Structure 1
């Protein structure tokens, strides 16, 4: 799968790395076609294409139709030139996958795992599982070009260190990249799980959409923001932390006017379950809430729809500020069906300006359990196949 959030700006550039960006769409081209696209001399293009072939990033792709004389050779992106280990860590599970350089998932496995076991135990299990998947596919560890990891907490993306993650005891400021690089000496990128889910959701369901917000409503609440085709992390990596935004008061809400709790405290799966327990209903967490809603329990349905309205109160401001084309609602609570979405839509369409909602879609996530690892793979390929990284690899070749 081609990186869905990569910019297209390759035409008119000079280096091998920029020429390579043109070919990442998977279409085979001749050197003459590349010369026309870039405006470079054929001899210059030929030399740089030969360098990319030597680096393994391009492959021969047969011959084009001849217009007289010898048919010209075509070249194409070689996604088999390396693989990425992609990891999606949740509070109680881990999905590990091997992807090629086009971010296509070659194999994956999901299994129970407690994030509270701490970084060493969790990462050791992840590394072991990744090595087993590589062996299963007959891929040498030396073929790995990068590792991408999503974690359920705030991350300083520039360092890959989780920062005060509430459900990850022992992980605060832990140097995840350094620990993983003891086994895989390649770039290791770490991000919040909602960000990689946004990348994966866009690639799977909305590849043509440049402005998308993915909202995860689960034990916590967070958002991944893709604006202008680029994932927005902010200055320190905390962009999209909706869960800690104080919910604006609405006269429609059953909450009292003085309630100053943040969104996570009133609308997460944990909060909904607490509300139901206060009514004498047995609900320990998100899974119980979903089960009750699916069983048609009226109090659970009412609480879930109200949680959607509270999410909508915060999202209405986000819509006015960022003007997305699509808002995707995911996470465990969203699996309860349309009730959460109905609450979100009710408020967002009423409180946002008409121009911002004129063509806005608010939809439920359709992605499966591989969306997170797909996003992690895309995150890595964005870096290891960037023009500068390709130039470096080509120079080494």
Structure 2
């Protein structure tokens, strides 16, 4: 008997049955009955609701039959990933990445929007809605097929309101709820989170399959981390968990940060700070991606800047490793495009400054989904919110 349904919890709901099927733990009606203890009539009732919703299909493919044990062979139940789509948008200071994904998180179509630095929310969101409309048309789906929208923005986010709380990088966005901008396109629920958090969730089909405790480092224009403990994302009391970029460091003493304070790690290691330094040294660069491209082709000055950024971020990260004892540190963001150079500095600081016990089995690994991790993570966040057991039960009760 599965431990998912304990004595006193009550009969398994349709949403819980859906989770069994979606996770591959129940492949047939007999499996559902055996795992949940439900009667055949109760199993039929719950599956009837799920089949009617389109989230589950039964025996839809010729080879979708289980092994025969004599008599009529059983037909398989399976999650219908094509029963709708989710829209995913990773909003950044100078680039926004958008995608349409199926209900299992696979990206069906995507596009990047290059924008003026620091756009107003109403201007950029109008472009986002138009681009989402075009992406839906490109995959032959209508807005009615949208089950949820997942968005990410840099900085601290009020998850419940779907608005930025504090983002020095996205000036003018604080307190602006993003869901109303999507209403001309879809009435589906809109979820908004910090960019590092959603990139951590992108590892649902990646490092989280092996490591239930990890820290995701996003090193781009700004610096942040997403923290997953025991498979659960940690946001903190006010959504500020992981704001490691504004940790004080002696190497930045007296240097102004975009947050309005001085002495933050970002002042010496964030993309915006590296661009300033590169310009002072005579390089014609506009974005951290330009600095990274120089480092990748072997420019010694750019390589030094990227490695030093890794070292400074690693100094702050070492304390987090001691505190949280993760199994893995996953590295993503623009600086990760110069992975070997950046991680050389990061590894040097983490392994020299964190405790031997905390680093004994620690691995430092690259992001699974590369530059699409923001889109994949936004989709994973939205899917988790609308397809968990309780959400499915609510949807079936109020279709």
In the superposition, the TM-score normalised over structure 1's length comes to 0.89
Moved more, 303-312 or 128-137: 303-312
Counterpart check, 1:329 vs 2:331: yes
Once structures 1 and 2 are overlaid, which stretch shifts more, 52-61 or 110-119? Answer: 110-119
- The DSSP-based 3-state class of the residue aligned with 2:209 is coil
- Provide closer, same or farther for how the CA distance between residues 85 and 284 of structure 1 changes in structure 2, counting only shifts above 3 A: closer
Q: What's the CA shift for 1:123?
A: 1.0
The superposition leaves residues 126-149 of structure 1 with CA deviations (integer Å, 9 ceiling, x where unpaired) of 111111111222212111111111
Aligned to 1:25: 23
Question: 2:361: which partner in 1?
Answer: 359
Describe the SS at the equivalent of 2:331.
Answer: strand
- Residue 392 of structure 1 and its aligned partner are, at CA, apart by 2.1
> What is the aligned partner in structure 2 of residue 176 from structure 1?
178
Mapped partners of 1:96, 1:280: distance in 2:
34
> 1: distance between equivalents of 2:388 and 2:30?
23
- Do 1:11 and 1:22's aligned partners in 2 also have CA atoms closer than 8 Å? no
How many residues of Structure 1 are paired with residues of Structure 2 in the alignment?
Answer: 384
Aligned 8 A contact 1:87 1:95 in 2: yes
In the alignment, is the contact (CA less than 8 A) between 2:96 and 2:112 conserved in 1? yes
More deviation, 108-117/221-230 = 108-117
> How far apart are 1:205 and its partner, in Å?
4.9
What is the deviation of 1:267? 1.1
* 4+ runs deviating over 4 angstroms: 256-260, 276-285
TM-score, normalising length: structure 2: 0.89
SS of residue matched to 1:124 = helix
Give the distance between the partners of 1:154 and 1:188, measured in 2 at CA: 17
Q: Partners of 2:106 and 2:12 in 1: how far apart?
A: 29
- From the superposition, tell whether residues 40 and 328 of structure 1 become closer, same or farther in structure 2 (CA, over 3 Å): same
Please state whether the residue corresponding to 2:347 is helix, strand or coil: helix
Gaps of 5+ in 1: 1-7, 250-254
Higher relative contact order (CA 8 A, sep 6+): 1
Secondary structure, counterpart of 2:104 in structure 1:
coil
1:264-279 alignment, distance < 5 Å: 264-279=266-281
Secondary structure of the corresponding residue to residue 369 of structure 1: helix
- State the superposition RMSD in angstroms: 2.3
Higher alpha-carbon deviation: 116-125 or 374-383: 116-125
**Residue 145 of structure 1: SS of its match in structure 2?**
strand
Q: Report deviation, 1:271.
A: 2.1
Report the alpha carbon displacement of residue 117 of structure 1 after superposing the two structures with TM: 2.4
Residue aligning to 2:210: 208
What is aligned with 1:5?
Answer: none
User: What runs of 5+ residues in structure 2 fail to find an aligned partner?
Assistant: 256-261
2:56 is matched with: 58
d(CA) in 1 for partners of 2:196, 2:147: 23
Q: Distance in 1 between matches of 2:319 and 2:65?
A: 54
Q: Which residue of 1 aligns with 2:95?
A: 93
2:110 to 108, 111, 115: 108
The match for 2:258 is none
Q: Where do 1:113-128 residues align within 5 Å?
A: 113-114=115-116, 116-128=118-130
Aligned to 1:147: 149
Counterpart Cα distance in 2 of 1:178 and 1:281? 42
Query: Could you tell me whether the CA contact under 8 Å between 2:164 and 2:176 is conserved in 1?
Result: yes
1:159-170, aligned counterparts within 5 Å? 159-170=161-172
